[in-house]
Amino acid sequence: MDYSIAKIGDILNAKTQGSGQVTGVSFNSRQVVPGDLFVALVADNDGHQYIQDALQRGAAAVLVDDQHDIPNDVPAVIVPDTLIALQQLGAFRRQELNPKVVAITGSNGKTTTKDMTAAVMAKRYKTFKTPENFNNEIGVPMTLLTMPADTEVLVVELGMDRPGQLTALSKLVVPDVAIITMIGEAHIEFFQTRAKIAQAKLEIVAGLKPDGVLCIPFDEPLLTQAAIAQQVVLFGDGVSAVQGDATTTTFTYQETRFAIPLIGGYNIMNALAAVSAGILLHIDLDDAVEALQTFDLTKNRTERLVTARGVNLISDVYNSNPTAVAAVLATLKAIPASHKYVVLGDMLELGEQAATLHANLAKEILAANVTGVYLVGQLFTANTAPILAPHFDSEHLHLYDTHQLDALIADLKTLGDAGDVILLKASHGIHLENVVNALVQ
């Protein structure tokens, strides 16, 4: 990004004051670097309160709304709504650079699929992907504005927690390829049924180019039976010879052997979504194999770590829903280890179905044949623990409130021997990442 203040004013049809060159963008004044355009978003904290801080850190200009008075000597672009302006600026950047766009959404696995897809695309193209979890109305335009000028393929993650959100984001990025990883129960508190979640996920085609392609799992009727105007590709069928251990999953697809540094059949589906997108953009299967062997995984997405005691940690603590928990427990069962332990934190945003959905996971926990169970949060302790109690004594079933993470850390630090496995899975709001960080220090 390298625009003059006057150029940004022209793009946004906005009033400007002052002059200078903008080489970056930030909406957090603490992260401003010299040359940035500081975007004063109006949210829980009004960004206009931090304009002076941003300028002191070297902001070249500020993007402000016309409801706030700005001193005449402050270089600024003045608009009716700073969020809308940020999105418009991002849309201009996408149109200007015109990369191929692969957009990814889904109830689970979208970040891992983003990472896999970017690795596959990078075998042939200059590729940029959504940083961290920048997947909402603010994060997506930030992704567009921070992609390098030589980007040939943009892999962008799109999040969703309400109807209409994906429509706006899809129209913002205008995908050539759209991927829906799966339909689970995430946000069922707001949508009530999986069918309504699927309907909202299908909004990703709102901005899909007329000659674009939608990639969906072959075994999800809520998607495969939907009427889609554009071409549809089904992924995930025809997999054979699946094997796995505590660190790697191998499988055969189209007579080609793949090995991914992740556990779980659900990650095979994520990998095949990435492979399908790669095939559409003319990536050879052999290149996809090589890319998926060593791709960079965003932190806390089925991350593999080791404690000081040599215990293998499987950390998947960014988000959680019943489908994802059941899948990772099934994978844990298949891992060869003398002792396996599971740490589960509450699954959030499940609404009226929360108690039932937590209780229903008891059978998957029992089927996983784990040595010990550690439950964190009122939903698991109140609904799942009573079902597990007849099967575990007090030394092997442990319950914690969400404010007792220090006690959990202390207990886990003495747990297991070299080669044993501890799985941690929870919604991000439980903050089990703090537990993971403590165990690997």
Binding site members for ATP: 106-112
DSSP 3-state assignment of 14?
coil
| Token duo for residue 297 | 């995984």
Nearest to 385 by CA among 325, 372, 337: 372
Angle (CA) 47-50-53 rounded to 5° is: 150
Residues 95, 404: Cα–Cα separation, whole Å: 49
The answer to whether the beta carbons of residues 204 and 166 sit under 8 Å apart is yes
DSSP 3-state assignment of 55?
helix
Cα dihedral sign, 74-76-79-81? negative
Count of CB atoms situated within 10 Å of the CB of 190: 14
Annotated binding site: 106-112
Residues 107, 182: Cα–Cα separation, whole Å: 6
Nearest to 75 by CA among 58, 89, 85, 62: 62
- Run of H or E including 372: strand 372-376
CA torsion, ordered 57, 59, 65, 71, to nearest 10 deg: 80
Residues 32, 47: Cα–Cα separation, whole Å: 13
The one-character DSSP state at 298 is P
Residues 26, 123: Cα–Cα separation, whole Å: 30
Residue 386's identity, in one-letter code, is: P
